[in-house]
Chains A and B, each alone.
With several copies, the nearest count.
Chain A
Amino acid sequence: MTSEIIMAGFGGQGVMLIGQLLTYAGMLENKQVSWIPSYGPEMRGGTANCSVIVSDEPIGAPIVTEPTALVAMNLPSLDKFEPMVQPGGVIIINSSLIERTVARSDVKVYQIPANDVAAELGNSKVANMVVLGALIAATGTVNSQSVNKAFAKMFAQKPDLLEINERAIERGASYIKC
């Protein structure tokens, strides 16, 4: 199986980080993985996005042009990437910030009020983890333990963050299950 995922949002919404976590988790599951940001003039203040591939096969082009899943943290991202998603793919929408849904009927769409959930959890910064939880639940790209392990590795110096992030992932996942 090959998951090709685009994660996009405003700079500061943490899409680069969840992309890296997902990649790391894939690596921990002994899958082939790659992460690549789109960098550029829009870096400053504008939108940011990254491509993540998690696969059982060696990875060819790391830049995802036909994603199997899209995480859209804000409206411009949804506008830009929605048309590229493969039929049968998954779109995770941060419904806290994006009012519209998706017109296409050939994709699975999940609306996750990520900022609201994060606020509930008491830390507005974990909105990205909420959508990550939703994403892995919706796609099965990796399992949540791997993400937690990845988080523990990447933030080895900040073990206190672990718990809230785990909970954010769970809460995100719960939107898919129900």
Chain B
Amino acid sequence: MAEKILMKGNEAIGEAAIVAGCRRYFGYPITPQTELTEYMAKRMPQVGGVFLQAESEVAAINMVYGAAGTGVRVMTSSSSPGISLKQEGISYIAGAELPCVIVNIMRGGPGLGGIQPGQADYFQATKGGGHGDYRNIVLAPNSVQEIVDMTIQAFDLADQYRNPVMLLGDGALGQMMEPVEFKATDTVPSIKAWAANGMRGRTQPNIINSLHLQPEKLEQHNIHLQQKYAAIQKNETRWEELYTEDADLILVAYGITSRIARSAMEKARSESYKVGLIRPQTLWPFPAAPFAKYAKTAKAFLAVELSAGQMVEDVRLAVNGVRPVAFYGRTGGMIPSPKAVYEQIVKTLKERGGN
């Protein structure tokens, strides 16, 4: 077993990427993810990799497009406003089916907003902030160890499905330190026969492209993408549940908020409230299954987010009207205390689940 080391979330992403075989990083500084950019600046030369500070987020995502198209593992990272700038590029990457990892360590918005933690880019990440019908695989870790594991997994998923994978965290996750272990991975770099890395004896040129001028062809391409997305939904949906079996109220939260929710839940349990927690680990594909299941047993759901209410829509879609779904959110970088969430639990149970 590897030794545990104490690491910041942001830096753990970087080291995990290196463990996953990522040797190309293109990024642009922005709080609260800058430590990751800086970590790559330090580490990439040490492992024979490429660190490049791009002139902008737009350039960085297009460098990723170029690198990914040649078949290498590649990553970029930013925070909310910078991720907005990448939306065209992400749509291109999805359209051209290139594997890459994009990290968003979210802060409060909208606009320049603030630099404290936020979760208000959920819609952007999961529904497609860029144009067209495409999906990112969105992973939402809630501890530094899970950051490590999911970062490695992100590269594998990206390669497997030829799809951008977004690691969605918030400023708190990026900044916090916890012990982590880097288990040796059995990652076998997949062979990418489609990569345009120079013909090198191949007889047919490879082309990386998202243009399909004939609507018939573009529709075919979209159908192909939708089939791929369906396969991802089928195979890659992940979540964690705690105390759900007997719960009257099920909390729903991801990332840092899920830990606050867990603390609140434990407090509630200790006072005999039957509270459980579903923590989506993949935000897209969203884990609808457990909601369908527990909508039969729980009396209500309570989504907790650092936003004005985004994931809660997916919860509502999953619960599909069978039970009430309540929402509690803080914005602007404010982080609710476990106590505040506990109070919401009590309140919701009274209002909705109590009958």
Answer yes or no: A and B touching, Cβ < 8 Å: yes
Chain A contact residues, CB within 8 Å of chain B: 20, 23-24, 27, 33-37, 39-41, 59-63, 65-66
A33-B178, A63-B335 known; A24 vs B259 contact (CB < 8 Å): no
A selection of 20 A-B contacts at a CB cut-off of 8 Å is A23-B6, A27-B179, A33-B6, A35-B6, A35-B176, A35-B178, A36-B175, A36-B177, A39-B31, A41-B214, A60-B259, A60-B260, A60-B266, A61-B260, A61-B337, A61-B338, A62-B178, A62-B256, A63-B260, A65-B339
Taking the closest CB of chain B, its distance from the CB of A80, in whole angstroms, is 14
User: How many of B's residues come within 8 Å of A, CB to CB?
Assistant: 26
Taking the closest CB of chain B, its distance from the CB of A7, in whole angstroms, is 13
Q: B residues within 8 A CB of A59?
A: 178, 259
Other-chain contact of A36, B116, B172, B337, B338 (Cβ < 8 Å): B172
**Proximity bits, B141-165, A CB within 8 Å = 1, else 0:** 0000000000000000000000000
Contact check, A23 vs B177: say whether CB atoms are below 8 A apart: yes
Beyond A34-B176, A65-B339: 4 further Cβ-contacts under 8 Å? Answer: A33-B6, A36-B176, A61-B337, A63-B335
Contact check, B213 vs A41: say whether CB atoms are below 8 A apart: yes
Closest residue of A by beta carbon distance from B257: A61
Contact check, B259 vs A66: say whether CB atoms are below 8 A apart: no
Closest residue of B by beta carbon distance from A64: B337
Q: Which of B103-144 contact A (CB under 8 A)?
A: 115-116
Q: A residues within 8 A CB of B259?
A: 59-62
Which of the listed residues A34, A35, A62 has the most CB atoms from chain B within 10 Å of its own CB? A62
Contact check, A61 vs B177: say whether CB atoms are below 8 A apart: no
Distance between Cα atoms of A34 and B115 in the complex (Å): 21
A27-B179, A36-B176 known; A66 vs B260 contact (CB < 8 Å): no
Closest residue of A by beta carbon distance from B262: A60
Chain B contact residues, CB within 8 Å of chain A: 4, 6, 31-32, 115-116, 171-172, 175-179, 213-214, 256, 259-260, 262-264, 266, 335, 337-339
Q: A residues within 8 A CB of B4?
A: 27
Q: B residues within 8 A CB of A62?
A: 172, 176, 178, 256, 259
Taking the closest CB of chain B, its distance from the CB of A92, in whole angstroms, is 21
Contact check, B339 vs A39: say whether CB atoms are below 8 A apart: no
Q: B residues within 8 A CB of A66?
A: 337, 339
Distance between Cα atoms of A59 and B262 in the complex (Å): 9
Distance between Cα atoms of A50 and B214 in the complex (Å): 18
Closest residue of B by beta carbon distance from A21: B6
Taking the closest CB of chain A, its distance from the CB of B172, in whole angstroms, is 6
Closest residue of B by beta carbon distance from A51: B176
Taking the closest CB of chain A, its distance from the CB of B96, in whole angstroms, is 19
A20-B6, A40-B115 known; A60 vs B177 contact (CB < 8 Å): no
Taking the closest CB of chain B, its distance from the CB of A101, in whole angstroms, is 27
Contact check, B177 vs A41: say whether CB atoms are below 8 A apart: no
Contact check, B115 vs A39: say whether CB atoms are below 8 A apart: yes
Closest residue of B by beta carbon distance from A52: B177
Q: A residues within 8 A CB of B176?
A: 34-36, 62
Closest residue of A by beta carbon distance from B144: A34
Contact check, A34 vs B262: say whether CB atoms are below 8 A apart: no
Other-chain contact of A60, B115, B178, B263 (Cβ < 8 Å): B263
Taking the closest CB of chain B, its distance from the CB of A148, in whole angstroms, is 16
Contact check, B116 vs A40: say whether CB atoms are below 8 A apart: yes
Taking the closest CB of chain A, its distance from the CB of B206, in whole angstroms, is 23
Q: B residues within 8 A CB of A33?
A: 6, 178-179
Distance between Cα atoms of A60 and B176 in the complex (Å): 13
Taking the closest CB of chain A, its distance from the CB of B118, in whole angstroms, is 13
Distance between Cα atoms of A177 and B262 in the complex (Å): 37
Distance between Cα atoms of A169 and B208 in the complex (Å): 51
Contact check, A34 vs B177: say whether CB atoms are below 8 A apart: yes
Distance between Cα atoms of A63 and B175 in the complex (Å): 11
